[in-house]
Amino acid sequence: MPHQCFSCTQQSLESIYKYTKIPFKLIYIDGYSPQKVNQYLEIQSQEKGFLLIRTEKYVSPNQARNIGLKHVDTEYVVFLNNDVLVKDGWLNNLIKCAQETDASVVSPICVQGNLAEQIIHFAGGSLEFQSKDRSLDLFDRQFFVKDSLHKVKSQITRKPTQIIDFNCVLVRTSVFQQIDNFDEKLMSVTEEIDFCLSVLAVGENIYLEPESTVSFVPFTDLITSDFPYYFLRWSYIWNRKSVNHFQEKWNLAKDAKFITNVLERVSKRNVLPFDSLSEQIKFEINKEICVNPKISI
């Protein structure tokens, strides 16, 4: 399903079929991808026999998850973003953890960039509500972020976690009978924390399984056709609507540090792709100069 771009679609899909050794049903949500990507997905769905559902407009991640959830008829469902690469044993180990711990939700370790680099993007975390002067705030903490997995692997064990990362997560399908579907009013941010709070509120367990590893491909690989969805995905409107709804839903104070921190982190996302765009523009200009020597800069 769409996360923030479409350019990693082929790489991600190929990794699923290469490294998933047990039977699975794939439901692919194509959230109005560019024509070239859509054509690739249509060909692959026919060749591999997976269900391809294309929307005729951009959708938020939670909207995409709910579209896919309608077609799930298995004991477990994995939500996997379209810019994530998996490795051998990833799914087997997630299911094994769920079976051995009776967990309703299981998260793998997620590294960032090339799987060989092993820089941790997500490896569990904690959530804590705190009340001060009758005002409620929420504090989230993620463990081992930006550490080298090779250096800290011995410290990471299978254990309960209060946070997951939606890049990849396995969920026992029956849990949705207790918490309902994903909240579509959360369009861009806080959806992972909202989901975890909902699961924990009904007494279900969330686990981290370190024997399962996936890789998130960062935004630095964005191409021009990715920009429209990327800027909508992290737009001020989507961000503000999401945090306002989360704040009201969980009764957080108007001046909650959690809300301030989320908005500060997400505000940077609309600036970062310009570095990539700038390099592309320079390349095109230099290419044109080589072809047409009458142009001078």
Question: Please, which residues bridge with residue 86 across strands?
Answer: 214
Asked if 107 and 122 touch (Cβ cutoff 8 Å), the reply is yes
Higher pLDDT, 287 or 285: 287
Residue ranges per structural domain of the chain: 9-271
248's tokens: 């009201």
Distance of alpha carbon 79 from alpha carbon 64, whole angstroms: 10
Indicate the pLDDT class of residue 275, thresholds 50, 70 and 90. low
DSSP alpha helix (H) spans, 60-109: 61-69, 90-101
- Calculate the average pLDDT of the chain: 90
Q: What is the pLDDT of residues 77-123, one digit of tens each?
A: 999 999 999 999 999 999 999 999 999 999 999 999 766 779 999 99
Pairing of strands 125-132, 135-142: antiparallel
Q: At 83, is the secondary structure helix, strand, or coil?
A: coil
The pLDDT, as a whole number, for residue 274 is: 53
25's tokens: 């049903």
Q: What is the pLDDT of residues 162-179, one digit of tens each?
A: 999 999 999 999 999 999
Q: What is the pLDDT of residues 15-52, one digit of tens each?
A: 999 999 999 999 999 999 999 999 999 999 999 999 99
| Percentage of residues of the chain with pLDDT beyond 70 | 89
Asked if 29 and 2 touch (Cβ cutoff 8 Å), the reply is yes
Q: What is the pLDDT of residues 131-169, one digit of tens each?
A: 988 899 999 999 999 999 999 999 999 999 999 999 999
The pLDDT, as a whole number, for residue 224 is: 86
The class (CATH top level) of 9-271 is alpha beta
Question: Please, which residues bridge with residue 135 across strands?
Answer: 132
The pLDDT, as a whole number, for residue 101 is: 98
Question: Please, which residues bridge with residue 171 across strands?
Answer: 77, 105
The pLDDT, as a whole number, for residue 270 is: 63
Pairing of strands 27-30, 51-54: parallel
Q: What is the pLDDT of residues 3-13, one digit of tens each?
A: 999 999 999 99
Pairing of strands 105-112, 168-172: antiparallel
Distance of alpha carbon 107 from alpha carbon 172, whole angstroms: 12
Q: At 25, is the secondary structure helix, strand, or coil?
A: coil
For the CA atoms of 10, 229, 112, 197, the dihedral, rounded to the nearest 10 degrees, stands at -120
Q: Which whole number is the average pLDDT over 210-237?
A: 88
Asked if 111 and 213 touch (Cβ cutoff 8 Å), the reply is yes
Using the CB atoms, write b or e for 193-202: b if 16+ within 10 Å.
bbbbbbbbee
293's tokens: 């020597």
The answer, yes or no, to whether residue 284 has pLDDT greater than 50, is no
The answer, yes or no, to whether residue 297 has pLDDT greater than 60, is no
